[in-house]
Amino acid sequence: MVSFSDVDVFVAIRQDQTTYSKIRSTALDLFVKHGYEEVGLRQIAQAIGIQPGSLYNHIDGKEGLLFSLIFEYDVALIGHLKKSVEPSTLPRDKLEQYVYTYICYGVLNHDLHLLASRERMYLAGVYGERIQSSKNAMSDLLDRIIDDGAALGEFCSKEELLAVIAIESVLNGFVASISGDRQEHWEALSKLACGIVLKMVNK
């Protein structure tokens, strides 16, 4: 049987989660619009309508907030990328799925993608190490696909590391450009991006 105290606890937790989600969405909006360095916790609190000191009931600080936004995006993206390439056996198919998934997920989470692309440099220490680790996981997956293609003679085996860096730059550029009224064209733009990426690695 549920007691009133149980209900009170549930309501308190739900309210806490609502406040936390408001903090995250507000911070994301402000960080993307003005840049991480230009936004203070006082601005975030003011935009939400709470006292600045109250933020520490929900977050560790501004850097911790930035970390949580980027890290959760990275982890989710990595999960989708791995899942998308698993069914394919040919490296070319895997690379195409990687490109489509990267762009699709980035477009659907456009602000988070922009934040991850532009502001991860401000994370240092343990935060920076964990973010770099998640970034490396994406690069390693892409590198393995290219390496497998090179082993089969499909892709060029020279300068694989540079190819990974170049491909990531191309994909980030495409995602950044697909916003607003361009979102309905993401599939056509993804095909264009895929063609460019394949030309970069084909023999």
What averages of pLDDT result for each successive group of 10 residues across the chain (203 residues)? 37 58 94 96 93 87 94 94 92 95 91 94 95 94 94 82 90 85 76 92 82
Look up the pTM and report it.
Answer: 0.85
Q: Which residue has the tokens 């105290």?
A: 5
The two domains 1-59 and 60-201 share their CATH topology (first three levels equal): no
Nearest partner of 27 among 2, 50, 3, judged by Cα = 50
Q: Which two tokens stand for residue 81?
A: 């990328």
As a whole number of angstroms, the distance between CA 99 and CA 84 comes to: 10
pLDDT at 136: 94
Angle between helices 160-177 and 186-201 (to 10 degrees): 170
Q: Which amino acid is at 132?
A: Q
Residues 6 or more apart whose CB falls under 8 angstroms from that of 105 comprise 76, 77, 80, 113
Domain boundaries, the chain: 1-59, 60-201
CATH topology assigned to domain 1-59: Arc Repressor Mutant, subunit A (1.10.10)
Nearest partner of 54 among 45, 62, 43, judged by Cα = 45
| Overall CATH class of domain 60-201 | mainly alpha
